Amino acid sequence: MATYALQIAGLVLGGVGMVGTVAVTVMPQWRVSAFIGSNIVVFENLWEGLWMNCMRHANIRMQCKIYDSLLALSPDLQASRGLMCAACVLSFLAFMAAVLGMKCTRCTGDDEKVKGYILLTAGVVFIVTGLVVLTPVSWVANSIIRDFYNPIVDIAQKRELGEALYIGWTTALVLISGGALFCCVSCCSEKSGSYRYSIPSHRATQKSYHMEKKSPSVYSKSQYV
């Protein structure tokens, strides 16, 4: 029962992580405008994401424009786009593998050992996906902070951390937690299975004892002859 509860918890975390990965990928709030110095035009917000940039006017109207070329992006955003797309695919594959390895799933049979290997694979892929999500989010955040404190960069070009980065860090933590749960469930199931098959039952032990007691030894037969 505890193993099944851990499987459900891991599946929920994996599903939340998959949805969060897709949300972070499509969100435009990776870089937001910074209101510092003379740049205090608070009725306009500039958002820069992986696929588009958006201008929001006084919380009323928002205009978004898709980037004309991939080469127009900065190197960190170019790499982040590829990594986040790979993370979306990996999270989907890990979630489907986790569903197939669940205890209540019948399409993969009733072999607990095979399901344990499937859950272990799903857990490892979830952990790898969390690391893949963490890499571009931390990379973009580092470049934003570096440019923010760089005196050479113009004030109008400085940006702050957007909501997508915070959601990305949370998503990476959720994915790694879900993957760790699946790995623990798989290891515990494998250990319990090996323990079950290594120790003989009490009835078999008593039966073998009675058989040895009933059958006389060769030495005792030679004495009677």
Q: List pLDDT tens digits, range 67-89.
A: 888 877 888 888 999 999 999 99
Prediction pTM value: 0.77
Q: 134-189 pLDDT, tens per residue?
A: 999 999 999 999 988 888 877 777 888 989 999 999 999 999 999 999 888 877 76
Q: Tokens 């892929």 correspond to what residue?
A: 125
In the chain, where are the structural domains located?
17-26+73-192
Thinking of the domain 17-26+73-192, which architecture would CATH place it in?
A: Up-down Bundle (1.20)
Mean pLDDT value of segment 119-129: 93
Q: 39-49 pLDDT, tens per residue?
A: 555 567 788 88
Q: How far is CA 160 from CA 34, 75, 114, 141, in A?
A: 5, 18, 48, 9
CB 192 within 8 A of CB 113: no
